Amino acid sequence: MDKIKIFDTTLRDGEQAAGASLNAQEKLEIARQLEKLGVDIIEAGFPITSPGDFEAVKLIAQEVRTPVICGLARAIPADIDRAWEALKEAAHPRIHVFISSSEIHMVHQIKKSREEVMELARTMVARAKSYTDDIEFSPMDASRSDPEFLYKLLEAVIDAGATTLNIPDTVGYAIPSEFGELIKGIRQNVPNINKAVISVHCHDDLGMGTANSLAAVKNGARQVECTLNGIGERAGNAALEEVVMALRTRSDFFNFETGINTQEIYRSSRLVSALTGFAIQPNKAVVGENAFRHQSGIHQDGVIKMAKTFEIMDPKEVGIQASSLVLGKLSGRHAFKQHLTELGFDLNEEDFDRAFKAFKDLADKKKDVTDRDIEALVAEELRTT
Ligand code: KIV
Ligand code: ZN
């Protein structure tokens, strides 16, 4: 199977989420965990933005030796020089240069013509290349850019030395089939495209970050940029755990592997949540508290008989010990009996029927039926027989 590179930008775009600021030590702790997780590239930060971010990128470059360590830079000499200053001690450094390519950004945000953007992209990639071989280029807002202009821009930066071309859906506007076509168009219309790896970077404003990334993979992207728990600017980025587990669980469809040690996913997710202070929604795919919990009687019955009836991933694959059956008003006799056994009760038929009825009455009134509730109600039923 061919490999999809995982480019983690939790420490750069993830940290851009309002309220998610991390200090250098916290960033280093996450970077060490990302190394254990097996990501190919860590985007450690945007060194020009603050002395603290510069120090964090430098520290990670010095300490984390297996993955590529990447720093972000606008297509501005001072940014590129600063990024290199932070990265130069890395075992595998990468400079990531970006400039907007959509009409709306060029006219209203950076106030530059197409020719100026083309020239800056070429010369700044060449400047970055004078420092190191591994250069990534991103045309910001690519998914809203004129494809013909995009093709020419990409061709020019490859000639200037870019080795990875990252196609961002900066504002999360793309639809999967459309984004897949964009990647296909790039493969077909950029003459020197085989000299570079195509990457994608999808935001989640319409909830399609993961779907767009996977559509891109189907159409030739070989690097996916993502963040743990999907944190990032506004609604966030494609979630690493979703992209990786979709590629793995549906390898029959994608036929790709990643280098991710999936058993480290849960631990990584919790660390990012703890250090950013961003809670994970209970129904979050793969890492949410409810992702492997079953409440309805029909589902619980199925899982007791065979886990795969209602579980497409083994929780152990992502580092969660086991799935669980949550007792509530929808639970059936089967699940209740199993739970009683786990709590050490072995009731005869008649006691069980009474306990089950008492449990159903309680579950109608109470959202969470705890083990203590169950112990109390069984004790009460046994006492009154
Ligand atoms: O969303 C975006 O376009 C970015 C770029 C800097 C790659 O984060
Ligand atoms: Zn982004």
Q: Which of 275, 293, 171, 161 is nearest to 229 (CA)?
A: 275
Q: What's the 126 CA to ligand 2 centre distance in angstroms?
A: 23
Q: What's the 187 CA to ligand 2 centre distance in angstroms?
A: 22
Question: What's the pLDDT score for residue 325?
Answer: 87
User: For residue range 185-242, what is the model confidence (pLDDT) as tens digits?
Assistant: 999 999 999 999 999 999 999 999 999 999 999 999 999 999 999 999 999 999 999 9
Per-chain mean pLDDT for the chain: 96
197 beta partners: 164
Least confident segment among 81-95, 153-167, 243-257, 362-376 = 362-376
Question: What's the pLDDT score for residue 112?
Answer: 98
Atom of ligand 1 nearest to the CA of 225: 7
Rounded to an integer, what distance in angstroms lies between the CA atom of residue 244 and that of residue 257?
8
List the shell of residues around ion ligand 2, using CB closer than 5 Å: 13
Place of tokens 């009996």: 337
- Name the pLDDT band for 280 (thresholds 50, 70, 90): very high
Answer left, alpha or beta for residue 4, where phi above 0 means left and psi between -120 and 50 means alpha. beta
The DSSP secondary structure of 282-317, one letter per residue, reads TT-TTTSTTTTEE-SHHHHHHHHH-GGGT-SS-GGG
Which ligand number lies closest to the CA of residue 226? Answer: 2
Q: Whose alpha carbon is nearest atom 2 of ligand 1? A: 170
> ipTM beyond 0.90?
yes
User: For residue range 168-185, what is the model confidence (pLDDT) as tens digits?
Assistant: 999 999 999 999 999 999
Q: What's the 364 CA to ligand 2 centre distance in angstroms?
A: 45
Annotated binding site: which residue ranges?
Answer: 13, 201, 203, 237
Q: What's the 292 CA to ligand 1 centre distance in angstroms?
A: 33
223 beta partners: 5, 199
Give the single-character DSSP code of 279: P
Q: Whose alpha carbon is nearest atom 1 of ligand 1? A: 170
Spacing of C-alpha 9 from chain mean position: 9
Q: Any residues with Cβ below 6 Å from ligand 1, and which?
A: 13, 98, 138, 140, 166, 168, 170, 201, 203
Looking at residues 56-75, what average pLDDT do you find? Answer: 98
| Model confidence at 145: pLDDT above 80 | yes
- Name the pLDDT band for 324 (thresholds 50, 70, 90): confident
| Model confidence at 79: pLDDT above 90 | yes
User: For residue range 329-375, what is the model confidence (pLDDT) as tens digits?
Assistant: 999 999 999 999 989 999 999 999 999 999 999 999 998 888 899 99
Looking at residues 273-292, what average pLDDT do you find? Answer: 97
| Model confidence at 299: pLDDT above 80 | yes
Q: Whose alpha carbon is nearest atom 5 of ligand 1? A: 140
Atom of ligand 1 nearest to the CA of 142: 3
Looking at residues 5-32, what average pLDDT do you find? Answer: 97
H/E stretch holding 60 reads helix 51-63
Annotated binding site for Mn(2+): which residue ranges?
Answer: 13, 201, 203, 237
Least confident segment among 32-36, 39-43, 85-89, 290-294 = 290-294
